[in-house]
Chain A
Amino acid sequence: ELKVEQNPLFLSMQEGKNYTIYCNYSTTSDRLYWYRQDPGKSLESLFVLLSNGAVKQEGRLMASLDTKARLSTLHITAAVHDLSATYFCAADGDSGYALNFGKGTSLLVTP
């Protein structure tokens, strides 16, 4: 059974600090997706990582993928309050049609 595990599940950090969210997955799929969800809202696609060594950056967020280790990271640089949200990683299921999500990391950025 495919498992996607994120850690930490809760993260409180100060503005201006850096931190990394980790996502381990058990599938052999080499595609990994990151989403953001604001309270009461839907999921917004952040990054699609398609191959080993892939790195993508958008603003203060940078995602990377190591398929050999089956590990993806989401690095937050100089956090600001607007980044407060829940971040999910997801991997393709065995069929390729379903996304299997981690439990999500609830991020709170405080002054």
Chain B
Amino acid sequence: KAGVTQTPRYLIKTRGQQVTLSCSPISGHRSVSWYQQTPGQGLQFLFEYFSETQRNKGNFPGRFSGRQFSNSRSEMNVSTLELGDSALYLCASSSTSGAYNEQFFGPGTRLTVL
């Protein structure tokens, strides 16, 4: 079974621009979560989607948004980029069919904001 895929793998943007990241979950997984990883703050939860609905959102400004499509693929968007948005953005998928929330992570998108 193919794992979680993310595109693009690397991005370089300048301040003020916007960016869209894409994530395709493991086949059959309907929950997709996004995390930001930085050396200073570690791994922080951004948001989670299930059946095209955002069920939970982390403590990030409104510049960070996301959506999920009917095929469970998800995108996240960051508008008006700031230097501090430079990070590894990880997408994870989960089946949610069991009693726990084991999440499987994609390779990540490395975003650099100049």
Which residues of A are in contact with B by a Cβ distance under 8 Å? 31, 33, 35, 41-45, 48, 50, 88, 90, 92-93, 95-104
Contact = CB atoms under 8 A, between A and B. Distances in A.
B33 A99 contact: yes
A92 B48 CA distance: 13
A98 B48 contact: yes
B102 A101 contact: no
Nearest to A96: B101
Contact of B107 (A42, A96, A99): A42
A97 B55 CA distance: 8
Nearest to B100: A31
Interface of B: 31, 33, 35, 42-45, 48, 50, 55-56, 58, 90, 92, 99-108
Contacts, number: 60
A91 to B, nearest CB: 10
- List the 9 shortest-distance A-B pairs measured between CB atoms, nearest first: A101-B43, A98-B45, A43-B105, A97-B56, A97-B48, A95-B56, A42-B105, A42-B107, A48-B102
A104 B42 contact: yes
Contact of A50 (B35, B48, B55, B99): B99
A104 B42 CA distance: 8
A88 B101 contact: no
A90 to B, nearest CB: 8
B68 to A, nearest CB: 13
B92 to A, nearest CB: 8
A8 to B, nearest CB: 15
7 contacts: A33-B102, A35-B105, A44-B105, A45-B105, A97-B33, A97-B101, A99-B103
B58 A98 contact: yes
Most interface-central of B44, B56, B106 (chain A CB within 10 A): B56
A102 B37 CA distance: 12
B100 A45 contact: no
Most interface-central of A33, A95, A98 (chain B CB within 10 A): A98
Nearest to A48: B102
